[in-house]
Structure formats: structure tokens, C-alpha cells
A and B are shown apart, each in its own frame.
Chain A
Amino acid sequence: MSSLDHDKTAVAELATRTHCPYCAFQCGMVMTHGGETSPLPDIQPDPGFPVNRGQMCIKGFSAGAMLNSDERITQPMIRGKTGVWQKIAWEDALDFCAEQLQSIRKSTGPDSVAVFGSGALTNEKAYLLGKFARVALQTPHIDYNGRYCMASAAGAQNRAFGVDRGLPFPVSDIAQAKTIILWGANSADTLPPIMQWFQQQQENGGRLIVVDPRVSATAQMAQLHLPLVPGSDLALANGLLYLAIEEDLLDWDFIAQRTEGFEALQGRISQYHPALVEKLTGISLRQLRKTVHWLAQSESTMVLSGRGVEQQSKGVDNVQAMINLTLALGKMGKPFSGYGCLTGQGNGQGGREHGQKADQLPGYRLIEDEEDRQAVAKIWGVDPESLPRKGKSAVELIDHLGPEGIRGLLVMGSNLAVASPNLNKVEARLESLDFLVVCDAFFNETSDKGHLFLPTYQWAEEEGTMTNLEGRVILRRQTQLPPDGPRSDLWILAELGKRLGFEEAFYFDSTEAVFDELGQATSGARADYHGITYEKIDQADGVFWPCPNVEHPGTPRMFLEKFAFPNGRARFVPVEHRPPAECPSQEFPLWLTTGRYREHYNSGAQTRMVPRLEQAQPEPRIQIHPRLARSLSITDESWVMAESPRGQGVFRAWLSSDVRHDTVFVPFHWGGMQAVNRLTIPALDPTSRMPEFKVCAVRITPLSEAIAQQWINRTEGEN
């Protein structure tokens, strides 16, 4: 058995400086223990960590509550014949799990088992999970919830720059940018501590433009807000480029020296006349002109995207249009300028680099590329031919769950039964599985459909690296002793690997040993971690990849001299507006868009268990323009049924003129009848396979208190 089992760690060996369990900002935090009397650690922001510089949001401050939660599952659980969870010993649980996976593989082939990972997993876990799928299970089907989050920006960046790193610069550069356009990003709620950099930018006299159908907390800070029609981002970007061409605001030297493909783009752009763009976006020509003047005429300009543009069935093209604009204005690869994506999940960056995606191997290597296959197979000590090919992406993978397709599923660190689109169908698919095993610290909506539950350590109870939204690889340390019972995800994979006949391949005597193998596997790849060590991370507050060797200091700023294609040039790609997969109709006349609250994180599986957060935002509310509400006799705080062609949800009304009159907004952190993803549409981007979480058509009707409660309770009872 490997020693990835931290039960025996002494308190004196525990670190105090670590990182937050939530978003991609990965705030540095300092944890101190109250001693015997206080069960909860005290958590304060780390003033010495250069990303959050002593700031943190309410989620980070209250993150300790989860560690001692009464809801914690500390023993493996198996669902008995009656459907009730029963305790089971680890050895038996692991044997059972391996047997189940093995018997499914034997009867219907390795393709009938799958793995679903998470952007919350450390680099080491993401890496080992990918290896587990390809080597131990030999299935092509592994994907992760980052597919719901980063895949579109990644797709566009790979196409335009040849590599995908969230931000090509450190966040501190934000403070120096003269103009920033934040596109479909509500950072004030989703990445609160990043706002200090925007505030500093404002104090330095910089301008901020926010593109969002809502007057979000972020938009309130901006000098210019563009409340566009949901799903019209691409038309907006192309329309801005049209005006830039018309007013001769392009950087021809940059286009000539550092890019290719502009000519093919120019003709297409000439069709985005303002009349069309105004019609599609609802943004006035005056605002369009002001925007393009600010972007083009500033000494430095950043163009930053969030999930608003990315989570669409044309997310890749949306981001491409933003990149086309950035390149044409010559605002890439220059100080305090450039396109960047604000990654969402804690390890959304690292999680997508190391082989959790259906089409990728560690270091962004491609599973269909023969050289890449050979490089990784060599490190893994297997025949390249034995590596599976490209598998199904998240939504398609879920679609194929069932007797005729994927019959066994291992889920690690993801609550896909809240986070996926069109949940009614997802639930049905999960229920049709022969075997579902969930590795997590708490029961959640996904494990509700499971057969086996393997309890894991929480973030503070083990170490591991994460890669934040800047591409900075950081080290989360163990600051807390785990309770008796749970185990590390790495240990679970090692034990299952052993049972499946791959003892050596999954044997590691430390987490760092996994990281070392990851480094070797990525050596020479686009996301090269080879030169990164835990020691270097410690010394330098993190190391930015690519970092090819131990002497290399890492790469805080990318593209200063060349882009990651053989000829060093960035690529323009012509992209065209197309309507969302579903547009409002007579029957479903409104746009629905989804998003987040500051107090909650993703599916809420963690944050809904923190009393302080639950008190601050106890439920999802549907944001409705007062004029729309009045026409439907909906009053503030009253109950509303929202319906799409796929499903229904019950929410309390929040009347607010900060949303377009034709659009309603609901956050997605809740399950049951308050899960807005029952309504969202599983239309996928053709390249990134990202579902269209941000746009679909709905209708809303008022509900009485009694009926609303009936709806909500009925589903809870069923669970």
C-alpha cells in the first residue's frame, strides 16, 4: 500500500500557509488552529501572496466550516437492497468497486465504463485519474466538469495562439491596463478578490467596459456597460471590428508582422453593418463607437472573457471573435494588454492540461497525435497502441449512460447532477447505470443516484498542486488532520489500480512523486511542467508554466515575442454570428440566463453546507425586471414557476431593474426543484462541446406560497 495516507501525520508537521478550496483565484490563506477547545481553524487571507494580497471573499473566510461539518461522510457506504446507504469496510468497498468495473468491462468491453473528473481536483489527481482511465480501465471515456467551464476559451486560444493558458499575464498587470473590457464576466461576484486589481486600475485612471445582459455588481463599477441581448456576443465583437476598420483604427504593423489570415476575415467583417449589429445586440451605435475608440486608442488594452460568452453553443467562435478584435487592434503580446480568460474552477486550468479531457493527454498533448501518444506511453511504460483513442465529451458521455452504452461510471469531485444542462435527462441517465461510484467528502445530488460512495479527504487535509487562472502552479499544503475513515483520491486510485492488475503504475510514495511523473509526462509539451518542483513553488510563490527545466524561472508573460505555432504567428479565423440553439417564441417568450452568487460556489455542494453562506443566500431567486413582473402579476419575493421546453423550476422572485426586460436570471447552485439546470439546454458548441448554459427560452408564471412549497417538498421527498 502506498503511503499516500495522511492519517499518521503529526500536528507539528502541519503547514499554516495554503490556498482556498474554491475558485481559480486560489487565494493564499493562513490557517491557524484554535487548539483543543475550538474545532474550527481560524482562516485569514495571506497578505504575502501576490495574487490576493491579503484579501479574500466570504467563501474563503468561512471555508473552515466544511472541515468539521456534521454532514461529513467518513466511511465507505454501499446502497443496500432497500436503497438505504450502509457502511462497508474499505477493503470490501474497493474490492466491490474493482469487481463491478471489471465485470462490466469483461461483459461489454472497456468502452462501457467511464470516468468523470473535476476542475476541483489537484494536478496530481487530474493526472492520475487520466492515467487510471487510459491504463487501468483502458476506456476512451473520461471527461470532466471543466467541459462546462473552460473548454470554449481553450478551443479558441488553441486555434488562435496555438496554446491555451487562461491569462497570458499575472493578475497584477490588470492594474496597469489603460482600458479593460470584461466580457460576460461578473468577477465582483465570482472572483471577488480580483476586484482589488480592477479598483487599482480605476485609481490609475483606467477605463472599464463590461458586457453583460445584466447590470451585475461588476457592471456597476464600469464606465461603460453594454447590456446586450443574450447570445449576441459574436455579432457585437464583429460589429466592433467593422467600426474599427471603418474608422481606420487597426494596427497594420502588428497585423503584418505577427499574424496571418486577416484578409480572409476582412471581407466577412464588412457584412457587420451597424444596422445589423444594433438589431442583433440591442446596443446603440454610439455605445459601439465609444467602445471601439476606447479599445483601439488606449496605450494598453485587455480583453477578458468569462462564462457569459463561453457557455454558449458558439462559445469558441465568440471567443475567437474577441481574439480577432484584439489582434486586429494590435493589443496582444504587448505590456498590460491582451486577450485572457478568467478561469472559474479552482483547478480549471491545471485540470484541463493533464489528461482529464476525452481528447487530451498530459501537458495538452493530443490523444490522436502519434508523437504525443508515444511520449506519454513511454512514461507510463505501456505500448502506445494500447492507449485508447478520443472518447466522449461530458454531455455526450452522460447521454450514453445506460444499458446499451456506458454501464459503469466513476465520479471524482464533481456534482454533475446539478452542474449539467437539462437535468431531468441527466438524472434518468444516472439512474440507468449498472454501477455508479462517487468519490467525495459529502453526499450530493450525484451520489443520490449512486451505488457506492468512497469518502475522501478535503482540500486542507492533504497536499497537492493547483494551477490558478494566471497559469501559476501553486502548492496547497496539508493544514489539517483528516478525521478517521476517509482516504485520499490518489490512494483510492492506487488501490483500485492494484485490484485491476496495475499495482506498479499507480504506486507512489508521496504526492510529490506523482507530480514528478506528471512533470516528465509533460516535458516538451505545450503545458510543460518539467522544471517545476515543490521547492521552487515554495520559493517563488508559484511558478508559471511553461517551465521546461529546473533552471528555467517559468513564464509569467506569454506571447511577447511569438505565438505557439511553428511560424510564430497568431491566426485570425473568420467567425459568423448565429442565433442561440433556442430563441424565445410565443410559448416561451423570455431569455433565461444563469450565473452565480458571491456566497456560493458552482453546484453548491460545498457552500450550501456552510451556515454563514447559507444564511447570506439561502435560496436561488429569479431576477425579473419590474415591468415584466407587473405585466405577469408577479410581486417581489413572491413565488414563480419558470418553464422551458425541457423542465421546470420554482424560485422566489427578485424584482430588479438591473436585468433586461426580456431576460430573467437564476443562479445555478441549488438542486431539487430549485435547480435551474432543469431548464437549460444541452446544445453543444461544435468544437469545445460546451453546453449552452447561458441562453435558452422560458416562460414564467406566478405561484402561490402553498403550491410552491408543495413543488419544492415533493422533490425533496423523492430524493
Chain B
Amino acid sequence: MAKKQLIIVGNGMAGGRLLDELLQRQALDQYEITVFGEERTGCYNRIMLSKVLGGACESTITLKTTQWYEEQGIRLIAGKKVTEFQTEAHQIVTESGEIYPYDQLVIATGSYAFIPPIPGTYLEDRSLKPGVFAFRTLEDCARMRAASEEGRHAVVIGGGLLGLEAAKGLADLGLDTTLLHIADGLMERQLDTPAGTQLARTIEALGIKVIMPAMTQQVLGDDRVTGIQLKDGPEIPCDLLVVACGVRPRVEVAKASGLPVNRAILVDDQLAVQETPDVFAVGECCEHRGVCYGIVSPIWEQVRVLAEVLTGTDPEAIFEGIKVYTRLKVAGVEVASMGLVHPEVDEDEVVQIAEARRGIYRKMIIREDRLVGAQFVGNADAAASILQYLERGDLLPTNRIDLLCSDEARGMGTNADREICNCNRVNESTIKQSIASGCDSIAAIGNRTAAGTGCGSCQGELARLLQAAGKARRPEPAPAV
């Protein structure tokens, strides 16, 4: 039987991951797979772009080399744009007019960097003014790095995840860096204002100047950028301007092809594009139950579900949405955010701990004894375990603060009085007491507490307790038999 044609448009992280999931399910037994990628490389890990900015070699973030596709028997058509989805005819059209028929089509076009309409950003020919960069692709990174000479001035517009990473990367390269942010606090999509302010203070302490709220009125310079003009504020000279104002789903082709698009391509719980048979969308270019995801873990879940559906390994698989967890570490500043950022209803309770001098802020939002959101700046040690409460919806402890404790104090293994001698059921506390009251050998402890007089397997432990109490130089050997 002839194999069905599966076309994947987009070779970013979602597309790459989808290939892995498909191969794990032996998809090549039923499909011939063709992947269209706009960039000329294989698939790489976009989340780690700041590594490349910092000087790491491209290969450290490469997920799939072009050779990989060949080895697997997957056709990769790199560097060619797809310009139309003809869903009635079950085919796609490329910029050069070639037509590729499909049985199943997956759109994984991801997103592009959003450049806000600030006057002066572009030259007359609609190209970005030299010195102005987006922070989205390997090529952006390479160009930015080439322009980053030590001692130059850089301005980053946008204090979200990407902007912070870019600012940190540039500062590390020795540039004098200023971060502009439009809201009252950094990362306002993940953090409330106190948390975002706290983060800004910490970032400033690291040598990055933060100005917020800051509205950029104009990009200055004739044939290349020389600075920016703030609305109601000063002019800031710069040699590099990085625009990190978030991303927008890449849906122009989908839209033009008549697919249902709101903010992004509308999909159902099986990632099938609404009202369009045999077409699916995953990743940043799709909108599921009103949400567009921009981080890895929900998208992984999406591609897993899609692979199950496409291969038929679990035709009933569905994606039901996922609670978002954001984790960031910029220059040693730990940031974590999950679930709601702000309380939503009157009944929502907030537990907040702010330690301004130590740069630590922690907050939980609680609804009906269950966690619905949390944020951490400066110390996110408790985030990983608290996240489990959010995910599972477990009842919180009566004393909510318990959750924010360090690992040791969080309730597991708290000073458990463990049983040392199983034969005679003697606990550690009893043995310690006996040592404190004068027992200075295993034999003496045995006489007092009976510990170690059964099978003898705990004698090594007794020796350790003696040693810890300074009562024995070396553990005694087990008695000869």
C-alpha cells in the first residue's frame, strides 16, 4: 500500500519534537514525511539562543542536523517558504510555485519577533535600521554578536523573558546596557508589580540600568541607530538597539489561505484546525481554548497528543491545556512563576512575603484551600515542590507558610526519630540519651538500651553516633564470632 503524505510546515522546536514523537511511534511505516523549514539549518533550541550570543558554538544548541533528516528518511526542504495552504485540494504551494500534495498537514510555523511601530525603526526600504536587532533566530544572534564590541552602548526594549536574557547577554559581552520596559514591573505577564520591581532592583545591582515605565517615542539616527528618544524623558544614546517586545504567532499564510484564525490558528483538543479536515496546528502558531502557549512544556504535550492522533496509537488522545510554569535565571537571580499572577475573585487569598533588602519576594494565591498561582524572585527553592500542588490541586497545609520552607523544613523527614536497632526497637533519641548519660562504647549502649544486642547489624550505626558525640575515635570492628 502506498504511504500517506505527511507535510510539516515549520522546523522549529515544535516541529522537531513532533518528528521525535512520530518516529517513536513508527510513523514512517505509514507516512512519508516532508518538513519545510524557512531557516537553512536543521532544528535548533531557540530557548538557548542567549548561549550563542554569549559565544557558544551553534552546535551546542542544535537539536537536529540536516544530516539527521537524511538518516531517518525524512525529506527536509530548508530555506523555502510555503506561501499557501490549499486545503480543499489537499496541497500546499511554495514561493517558487511548486505544489506538494498531502494527506495530513501540520502547521508548526511558530512565531516571529514583534517589532512595535516606533518611528525610526526602519529605513525607507522597510529594512531594519542598521544597529537595530530582533532576538529570535540564530542569524539575529550572529549579527548582534558581531556588532557587540566592548564599551559600546546597548539598549534593550522589553523587560520580558527574552529582553532580560538579551540584556544579560550583552552586559556579559562588556556592553553598557540599558533595559527599557513599558510596564511598572519587569515580566508583567509572569510577575506582579512588587515582584517585577524587586527583580528590576536586583538586575540593576548587577550593572544593567533599568528604566520603567518607559515609552519609546523615536529611534534616532539617519542611516544607523544612534540612540532612542523616550516619551516625556531623556534621549539615550546607543550603538545597538535590541527589540524584545514579545512574539506574535506566524499565521499570515494560514489567514490568507482562509483557515480560522483568531490570535492564532484555532485548534480543537486534538490539535485539528477547526472546520478544516486533515489539517493540524501545534506550538506557538495555534490557539487552543483561547490560549496561545509560548513555552516548552505545554507544547511538548501538544506534539505528543498530535503524534498519538496522527499515528493512531491513541486516536482518543486529547490536549486539555496546561498550567504554565516559567523559570528564569538571569545573572544568578532566580525567578519562578506559575498559574495566576493576580487574584481574580474576592475569595482569593494572597500570602505574600517580601524581604526587600535580601532581594527576595514570594507570593501564593489560594482559592478554596488550593493553590492557583505563585511567584518567586530571589529564592525559588520552594517553587518545584509548590508546583506539584498547583498541578495536582491538592489541599494545602493548614499553615500555608509551611510550603515556602526549605527542603529540609518542608515536612519531609523532619527530625524523624528513626529506629536504629530493629531487633529491639530502639530509636536514635534513646541511644543519644544513653550516650549523653555516659555510655561510651557499643557494649555500654547495649547494656543500657539493648540496642545492638540482637542481630548486630546496627553496630556500625551505633559507632557512628558515638563518634558524632565525640565518644569514640574510630568505629569499633564488629565483635569476633
Chain A residues within 8 Å of B, Cβ to Cβ: 30, 44-47, 53-58, 60-62, 192-193, 195-196, 199, 202-203, 215, 217, 219-220, 225, 227, 229, 245, 263, 266-268, 270-271, 273-276, 278-279, 281-287, 576, 584, 589, 598-599, 616, 625, 627, 631, 656-662
Contact = CB atoms under 8 A, between A and B. Distances in A.
Interface in B268-327: 295-297, 300, 325-327
A657 B460 contact: no
Interface in B446-481: 454-457, 459-461, 463-464, 467, 474-475, 477-481
Interface string B407-424: 100011110101000110
Interface in B368-408: 380-385, 387-388, 391-392, 394-395, 397, 407
B48 A284 contact: no
A270 B48 contact: yes
B248 interface: no
A47 B459 CA distance: 14
B460 A285 contact: no
Given A584-B392, A657-B416, A45 B329 contact: no
B457 A599 contact: no
B294 to A, nearest CB: 12
B459 to A, nearest CB: 8
B413 A215 contact: yes
B455 A219 contact: no
The 8 closest A-B pairs by CB, nearest first: A275-B327, A215-B413, A278-B384, A44-B481, A58-B455, A54-B478, A61-B455, A267-B63
15 contacts: A54-B479, A56-B456, A195-B461, A215-B413, A217-B418, A267-B61, A270-B48, A271-B13, A271-B63, A279-B325, A279-B384, A285-B327, A285-B334, A627-B397, A660-B412
Contacts of B363: none
Nearest to B382: A284
Given A274-B327, A275-B297, A658-B416, A599 B478 contact: no
A658 B413 contact: yes
A23 to B, nearest CB: 13
Given A47-B480, A55-B460, A281-B384, A657 B61 contact: no
B41 to A, nearest CB: 12
Contact of A267 (B62, B326, B477): B62
B47 interface: yes
Contacts of B454: 58, 61
B455 A56 contact: yes
Contacts of B17: 271
Nearest to B424: A616
Contact of A199 (B326, B334, B387, B464): B464
Nearest to A586: B393
Given A55-B457, A245-B60, A270-B63, A657 B413 contact: yes
B201 interface: no
Given A199-B460, A616-B423, 15 more contacts: A46-B481, A57-B457, A196-B460, A203-B474, A270-B61, A270-B63, A274-B329, A275-B327, A276-B296, A276-B300, A279-B297, A279-B387, A282-B387, A283-B384, A576-B20
B296 A273 contact: yes
A22 to B, nearest CB: 13
A622 B253 CA distance: 58
Contacts of A47: 478, 480-481
Nearest to A199: B460
Nearest to B418: A220
B64 interface: yes
A662 B392 contact: yes
A57 B382 CA distance: 38
Nearest to A62: B455
A278 B383 contact: yes
Interface string B39-68: 000000101100000000001111110000
Given A279-B325, A284-B382, A631-B395, A215 B460 contact: no
A278 B325 contact: yes
Contacts of A270: 45, 48, 60-61, 63
A287 B477 CA distance: 35
Contacts of B61: 267, 270
A58 B423 CA distance: 7
A274 B62 CA distance: 18
Contacts of A62: 455
A219 B475 contact: no
Contacts of A598: 422
A227 B385 CA distance: 10
Contacts of A662: 388, 392, 394
Nearest to B338: A279
B399 to A, nearest CB: 10
A385 to B, nearest CB: 32
Contacts of A227: 412
Contacts of A57: 455, 457
Nearest to B304: A578
Nearest to B481: A44
Nearest to B428: A220
Contacts of A263: 59
Nearest to B396: A627
Contacts of A266: 59-60
Contact of A282 (B388, B414, B422): B388
A215 B380 contact: no
A57 B325 CA distance: 46
Given A195-B460, A199-B460, A286 B381 contact: yes
B63 A284 contact: no
A58 B422 contact: yes
Contact of A285 (B47, B295, B384, B392): B384
Contacts of A657: 411-414, 416
Nearest to A272: B296
A650 B459 CA distance: 35
B391 to A, nearest CB: 8
A287 B384 CA distance: 10
B383 A58 contact: no
B407 A287 contact: yes
A287 B422 CA distance: 31
Contact of B457 (A46, A58, A268, A631): A58
B384 A661 contact: no
Max chain B CB contacts within 10 Å: which of A62, A284, A287? A284
A192 B17 CA distance: 44
Contacts of A287: 381, 407
Nearest to B388: A282
Contacts of B423: 58, 616
Nearest to B62: A267
Nearest to B71: A264
Interface in B318-357: 325-327, 329, 334, 336
Contacts of A229: 388
B1 to A, nearest CB: 26
Contacts of B481: 30, 44-47, 54
A278 B327 contact: yes
Nearest to B47: A273
Q: Which of B334, B460, B475 has the most CB of A within 10 A?
A: B460
Contacts of B474: 203
A174 to B, nearest CB: 13
Contacts of A203: 464, 467, 474-475
Nearest to A217: B418
A287 B381 CA distance: 8
A40 to B, nearest CB: 15
Nearest to A224: B407
A262 B463 CA distance: 45
B315 to A, nearest CB: 18
A275 B326 contact: yes
A226 to B, nearest CB: 9
A275 B337 CA distance: 10
Contacts of A275: 295-297, 325-327
B310 to A, nearest CB: 17
A276 B17 CA distance: 15
Contacts of B296: 271, 273, 275-276
A21 to B, nearest CB: 15
